[in-house]
């Protein structure tokens, strides 16, 4: 069976419903925020996830202690969730 170009492109696409970090970074930037990923070892003040910061002020607006997952970030950017503490 011969594979067409369209089939190959569909095979390379991520499954529907998955959250892409680069897409969320772009969306956050358009809304005036920056998605910041933890680069340190986990500790009491760093849970190894993501936080949202304001581009204008540099203040943390959500996810302090890096506890946002990509799904939390997507929900927060869509206005469907507040800071999930």
> What pTM did the predictor assign?
0.70
Q: What's the pLDDT score for residue 75?
A: 94
pLDDT of 11 above 60: no
**Alpha carbon 70 to chain centroid, angstroms:** 4
Sheet bearing 50-54, strands edge to edge: 33-37, 50-54, 60-62
CA pair distance 46, 59, nearest whole angstrom: 16
Q: Where are the domains of the chain?
A: 31-85
Q: What is the per-residue pLDDT across 21-65, written as a single tens digit (0 to 9) for each?
A: 999 999 999 999 999 999 888 887 788 899 999 999 999 999 999
Per-residue pLDDT band for 10 (boundaries 50, 70, 90) equals: low
């Amino acid at each position: 069976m011969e594979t067409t170009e369209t089939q190959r492109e569909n095979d390379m696409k991520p499954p529907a419903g998955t959250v892409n970090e680069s897409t969320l970074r772009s969306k956050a930037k358009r809304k005036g925020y920056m998605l910041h990923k933890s680069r340190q070892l986990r500790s009491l003040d760093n849970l190894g996830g993501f936080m949202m910061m304001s581009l204008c002020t540099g203040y943390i607006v959500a996810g302090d202690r890096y506890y946002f997952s990509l799904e939390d970030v997507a929900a927060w950017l869509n206005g469907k969730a507040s800071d999930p503490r």
